[in-house]
Amino acid sequence: SVGEYAALYAAGAVTFEEGLRLVSERARLMDEAARARPGSMIAILGAEPDMVEGCCREASGLGVVVIANDNGAGQLVISGEQRAVEEAARLARERGARRTVPLAVSGGFHSPLMAEAAARMGSVLDTAPLNDPGIPIVTNVLADYCRTAECIRSSLRRQIAEGVRWRESMQRLFDDGAELLLELGAGEVLTGLAKRMRSEIVAIAVHDEASLLRAAEAARATQGGSGR
């Protein structure tokens, strides 16, 4: 979710320096919240969102537990207080999940345990110099387009304590005719997730000159060079 700040910089909504300041403040506030209200996260593989949501509801008597990431292709992450998270994962395994994997994280991120961090980040964002993006951004908390600075402020605040709707965000792009996806980052995780959701999509992780050239060739080939 922190990658959204890079997208906002690319879209002209925030300067590089201000983006770094906001990311640093976000990390500090989330770390403080994790220390105040400890939590954990577990990935659940080979399961449908409705089933996992039901497991979270049943386990919520033991504490906070919610879906933190819906990555599509049957890959979800749950987050919250440890006992409740472990119970929801156990229920998911009982109900057919292929595998559950505890994540090596320092808190229950993208859950109500981060509510205080979200509120404090909201105060920081209220005075941050943000611009309307020059390119519409599909934010992970809305799974829809943000076109104004105020929408961006709201989304960046909410994403701290709410789930990452990756599957729905990608589906919005697919529905709008996206044919070429470029991952600009350190790895290829998002490229793999996108291809598992839609095998025919052209998705390229750009991390060196060779992959940049492949991306340029794919862009030219997509709709005669005007691909989306």
Closest CA to 105 of 162, 187, 166, 43: 43
Strand partners, 217: none
Q: Which residues are catalytic?
A: 1, 110
Distance CA 210, CA 69 (A): 31
Q: Report in angstroms the alpha-carbon separations of 161 from 61, 77, 155, 164, 206.
A: 20, 14, 11, 10, 30
Distance CA 160, CA 125 (A): 13
